[in-house]
Amino acid sequence: MTEQVFRLIPATQNYPWGKKGSSSLAAQLADGAGIPDFKIDESQPYAEMWMGTHPNAPTRVHSTGQLLSEHLAVHPELVGQSVIKRFGLENGQIPFLFKVMSFDKALPVQIHLDRHTAERVHSENPRAYVADSNHNPEMVLALSDFGALCGFLPTFQVSEFLSFVPEFASLFTPDIIAHFTSVVRSPDESERKSALKDLFSCYAQVDKEEAVAQLKRLVERYQAGKESDKEKIVKSLVLQLHDMYPDDSGVFCAFILNYFDFKPGHAFSVATGEPHAYITGDIIECMATSDNTIPLAFSSHLDVPTFLTNVAYNPTPGKSLIQPTMFTRGSTHTSGSLLYNPPIDELAVMQVIVAKGGVESHHKLRGPSIAVVVEGEGAVVWAEGAKRLGVRKGQVVFIAAGTEVKYSAFETAFKLYRAFVEVA
Ligand SMILES: [Zn+2]
């Protein structure tokens, strides 16, 4: 017999792009999570707090210190047979990996693989960034202002940059530029994609020293205020990325990929092969249980061949956001629960806000959940009111499949995010 709701101990990942010390939301939450011996070091970056069963930074059960995966292996009813069967889960794994991320330096420009390719690449050559054989679709939910590069710019925009940014144009041979420019407005989409592929492949394999020399020239020109009118929109991004990675030709991605300024509450999913780099912000990220990323830039471990083989050339002027809906299933009391349901089978995320003195109810979900409190304090109540667990900022709880829960706030409001999976 085990409880259906119990506290977890998450794990942190101190990647160098994390915000430093207590300015990092991931560190603040980890500080409240009850991680043994955890103390914020103000000189250290705290990039991510992980909640899930991935072996690279596994979560433990708070009361026993046992790995969550070991506990779930013994108690598969907490995950639920339908989920175990649907995803072929073994060894107490759950299908999703839930993260809070906090960074003020860009993460590597990367793509994710589909499952078939991940399996192949992992078995042929298990490397740090293909650490498992799973695919890695992810959704992101902004908790603060959040800057990110995501997807290819429309080809006509790239060709404009080629025409008025000489340092960028110098990375390509004249025939590549001539061909690209001649087809950017072609009605034939496959022709445009193929020209983008030629151009991008050339960029990804450019002589790094030459590219960094051109980058220096570009940055000096921008710093001297000698940008043309058309460059004004991209100048601050170039300078920002250059500040972060002064010797990295990845800065030129500013002329190839879409930049977005997301606001709190904005959420989106990332498609297989879609290039992206998160730059600054605090976010919730939820992905299939995988740590596979194929980096192209802003990293010391690049895999340009695998990146180029698997990147998807789908230029688009915008990014479609996930529209949250009110989660009302069994929610008899209030309407403080917003559901973000991405087109990813393994996961969905709810934002739950309980007003001071209020109660929010969630009917049974047909799969496991992990919830993290990001503000305030309150209680999670289950077993028809017979059981209750006080929770506050940073604390993480597991909620078993088939468990109806209520969240109660007392003196203060509280806010949590609940990641879960259900099989229809
Ligand atoms: Zn990613």
For residue 394, give the CATH number of its domain. Answer: 2.60.120.10
Give the closest residue to 337 by CA, choosing from 262, 423, 415, 424.
Answer: 415
| Residue 240, pLDDT above cutoff 60 | yes
| Residue 332, pLDDT above cutoff 70 | no
CA 276 to ligand 1 centroid distance, Å? 7
CA 139 to ligand 1 centroid distance, Å? 9
Among the three residues 211, 236, 255, which one is the final residue of a domain in this structure?
A: 255
pLDDT tens-place string over residues 280-331 = 999 999 999 988 888 899 988 888 988 999 999 999 889 999 999 998 876 5
| Residue 418, pLDDT above cutoff 90 | yes
Q: pLDDT at position 333, please?
A: 56
Taking residues 352-359, what's their average pLDDT?
Answer: 94
* Number of other CB atoms surrounding residue 186 within 10 Å: 12
Bridge-based pairing of strands 146-152 and 276-288 is antiparallel
Share of the chain above pLDDT 90, in %: 86
Among the three residues 227, 255, 283, which one is the final residue of a domain in this structure?
A: 255
Residue 273 lies in a domain: no
CA 257 to ligand 1 centroid distance, Å? 15
Q: Annotated binding residue at 138? A: yes
Taking residues 134-144, what's their average pLDDT?
Answer: 93
Cα 397 to Cα 41, 97, 356: the distances in Å are 25, 14, 21
Residue 329 lies in a domain: yes
Residue 412 lies in a domain: yes
207-211, 325-329, 337-341: range with lowest mean pLDDT: 325-329
CA 106 to ligand 1 centroid distance, Å? 12
| Residue 424, pLDDT above cutoff 90 | no
CA 150 to ligand 1 centroid distance, Å? 10
Which CATH number goes with the domain that contains 189? 1.10.441.10
104-108, 139-143, 238-242, 326-330: range with lowest mean pLDDT: 326-330
Q: Annotated binding residue at 62? A: no
pLDDT tens-place string over residues 368-392 = 999 999 999 999 999 999 999 999 9
Residue 236 lies in a domain: yes
Share of the chain above pLDDT 70, in %: 97
Residue 330 lies in a domain: yes
Give residue for tokens 């069967």. Answer: 85
Q: Tell me the pLDDT band of 120, cut-offs 50, 70 and 90.
A: confident
For residues 43 and 379, give the distance between their C-alpha atoms in angstroms, rounded to a whole number: 34
Residue 238 lies in a domain: yes
Q: pLDDT at position 328, please?
A: 80
Say whether 261 sits in a helix, a strand or coil: strand
pLDDT tens-place string over residues 256-274 = 999 999 999 999 999 999 9
Which residues are CB-neighbours of 350 under 8 A, at least 6 positions away? 327, 337, 338, 339, 340, 362, 417, 418, 419, 420
Taking residues 70-98, what's their average pLDDT?
Answer: 96
| Residue 98, pLDDT above cutoff 90 | yes
* Torsion angle of the four alpha carbons 46, 118, 258, 305, in this order, in degrees rounded to the nearest 10: 100
| Residue 126, pLDDT above cutoff 70 | no
Token couple for 349: 């995320």
Q: What's the chain's average pLDDT?
A: 94
Total count of domains within the chain: 2
CA 231 to ligand 1 centroid distance, Å? 28
pTM: 0.94
For residues 246 and 223, give the distance between their C-alpha atoms in angstroms, rounded to a whole number: 14
Q: pLDDT at position 334, please?
A: 61
Among the three residues 237, 255, 273, which one is the final residue of a domain in this structure?
A: 255
CA 138 to ligand 1 centroid distance, Å? 7
CA 121 to ligand 1 centroid distance, Å? 17
Decide if 158 contacts 177 (C-beta within 8 A): no
130-144, 272-286, 337-351: range with lowest mean pLDDT: 130-144
Please state the φ and ψ torsions of residue 124, each to the nearest 5 degrees. -70, -35
Q: pLDDT at position 330, please?
A: 64
pLDDT tens-place string over residues 150-189 = 999 999 999 999 999 999 999 999 999 999 999 998 899 9
pLDDT tens-place string over residues 212-236 = 999 999 999 999 999 999 999 899 9
| Residue 1, pLDDT above cutoff 90 | no
Whether residues 159 and 247 fall in one domain: yes
Whether residues 250 and 329 fall in one domain: no
CA 284 to ligand 1 centroid distance, Å? 12
Taking residues 3-23, what's their average pLDDT?
Answer: 96
Residue 223 lies in a domain: yes
CA 111 to ligand 1 centroid distance, Å? 6
Domain that holds residue 216: 154-255
CA 99 to ligand 1 centroid distance, Å? 12
Whether residues 329 and 414 fall in one domain: yes
Taking residues 107-135, what's their average pLDDT?
Answer: 81
| Residue 237, pLDDT above cutoff 70 | yes
CA 21 to ligand 1 centroid distance, Å? 23
Residue 39 lies in a domain: no
CA 287 to ligand 1 centroid distance, Å? 9
Say whether 115 sits in a helix, a strand or coil: helix
